[in-house]
Chains A and B, each alone.
Chain A
Amino acid sequence: MSGVPALEVTGAGLRYGRTWALRGCFASVPQGRVAALVGPNGAGKSSLMRLAVGLRRADEGEVRVFGQPPRGANLPRVAFVAQDKPLYPELTVAETIRAGAGLNPRFDVQGARRRLDDLGVPRRKRIRQLSGGQRAQVAITLAVAKRADLVVLDEPLANLDPLARHEVMEGLMSAVAERGLTVLLSSHVVAELAEVCDHLILVSRGRVQVAGDIEELVSAHRLLVGPSGTTPAGSYDVIGRSDTERQTTLLARVRGPVHDPRWTTRELSLEDMVLGYLRAPEAVLAPRPVAL
């Protein structure tokens, strides 16, 4: 696998009229990763995805997919499923597959049919007659059958029941295992991504706050608890703190051991780390541009 990132966002900004939805965003997703795009509603997740799939052009900075802008000859390499899983409601499932085959040179018709048959989605039904879960499956199956190298999914699990969630994820992860594709999926529920994703992009208030390998990020952060009025010795950056009368709790990014017998150090879960950053919007841990 080559070293070009599947997705590279360098200083990207996006404007709706005079309001900036995104500003100065930096993130990079290596090939073969399953990246989670996380953040509160309205933080700019969908905007970042629109940039990544070429639905919009950045008003500042650059967005590259496998080293090229997501346009023209690069379009076959990116697949997108928008939030409401838009498909033509008057078409049948079979016609939707036919449309996918006609619009994409690499489209896997057999694979798409097999997958939808396995899931029990009737091919003769119209899209508007399907349940929400079935419709999501059709949209995601089409995106996978495009044989793109980067699949971008905006809130793929929203409005799905637990079984459908599991089936959607199984299908996606099988595709990742079989074809080594890169996935970028967004959610505002961090817990449902922990088993699936190995890369994180945390967006809040229109910027990328944290980006990187989940394991590296989680292992670099600790919860430090100690008596109030003291600070532990060691090399670390404080992301957030909360004080009670007797006790101080610090969420810290540690660079070395923290040795202070009065302070205890605890490991964090991904969810706790994300929450810590969301509570401290001014703390940023994202890749900066390489000096040219």
Chain B
Amino acid sequence: MGATLIEFSLDKRSGVATYMQIVQQVEQAMRLGRLTPGDRLPTAAEVVGRLAINPNTVLRAYRELESRGLVEPRPGLGTFVRRSLARPRDPVLEQRLAAWVREARAAGLGPDDIRALVESALAGGLAGEATA
């Protein structure tokens, strides 16, 4: 049935429900292109054989992914990735971001400051937004 493509890991202190952590990790893997359409997700037995969690939790995560239209169960075969979340890479955007990060570092900003700025920009709360 092929090798296991991804493995999940749990952060027990994150406060995020276990099934949601699995959902997020599948989505993340899909965004980064590590899971592409047609890939099989590990079975519940494979997951619980490593994580020692309730298999119903895994099934629940897969149902959630299914309801988001990301995966589909094929009876007797497993759960398969239906579509891609990975975007084609944009070299221009990536170069400009890298250049900006270098500038920010040079201006004395640490990783947390940079993250906060990015978050803030995503939320639309930066000074330049109104005029842009």
Contact = CB atoms under 8 A, between A and B. Distances in A.
State yes or no: do A and B touch (Cβ within 8 Å). Answer: yes
A166 B51 CA distance: 8
B45 A195 contact: no
Nearest to B55: A177
A166 B45 contact: no
Contacts of B45: 174, 177-178
B49 interface: yes
Interface in A14-54: 32-34
A197 B54 contact: yes
A176 interface: yes
A250 to B, nearest CB: 22
Interface in A194-239: 195-198
A174 B51 CA distance: 10
Given A177-B44, A178-B45, A195-B18, A34 B54 contact: yes
B54 A166 contact: no
Interface in B84-116: none
A196 B54 contact: yes
Nearest to B59: A177
Specify which of B45, B48, B52, B54 lies most central, judged by the most chain A CB atoms within 10 Å of its CB.
B54
Contacts of A173: 48-49, 52-55
A197 B56 CA distance: 9
Interface in A32-90: 32-34
Contacts of A169: 52
Interface size class of B (residues with CB under 8 A): 10 to 19
A173 B44 CA distance: 9
Specify which of B18, B51, B52, B56 lies most central, judged by the most chain A CB atoms within 10 Å of its CB.
B52
A57 B71 CA distance: 49
Interface residues of A, number: 15
Specify which of B10, B12, B48, B56 lies most central, judged by the most chain A CB atoms within 10 Å of its CB.
B48
A170 B50 contact: yes
Contacts of A32: 56
Given A195-B12, A195-B18, A177 B52 contact: no
B50 A176 contact: no
B43 interface: yes
A177 B12 contact: no
Interface in A176-199: 176-178, 195-198
Contacts of B56: 32-34, 198
A59 to B, nearest CB: 34
Contact of B52 (A33, A166, A178): A166
A34 B59 CA distance: 14
Contact of B49 (A34, A174, A195, A196): A174
A33 B10 CA distance: 22
B121 to A, nearest CB: 31
A166 B44 CA distance: 17
A169 B55 CA distance: 11
B120 to A, nearest CB: 27
A34 B57 CA distance: 11
Specify which of A33, A174, A177, A178 lies most central, judged by the most chain B CB atoms within 10 Å of its CB.
A177
B55 A170 contact: no
A178 B49 CA distance: 10
B52 A170 contact: yes
A195 B53 contact: yes
Contacts of A197: 54
Contacts of A166: 52
Nearest to A183: B54
Given A176-B54, A196-B52, A196-B54, 19 more contacts: A32-B56, A166-B52, A170-B50, A173-B48, A173-B49, A173-B52, A173-B54, A173-B55, A174-B49, A177-B45, A177-B48, A177-B58, A178-B45, A195-B12, A195-B18, A195-B51, A195-B53, A196-B53, A198-B56
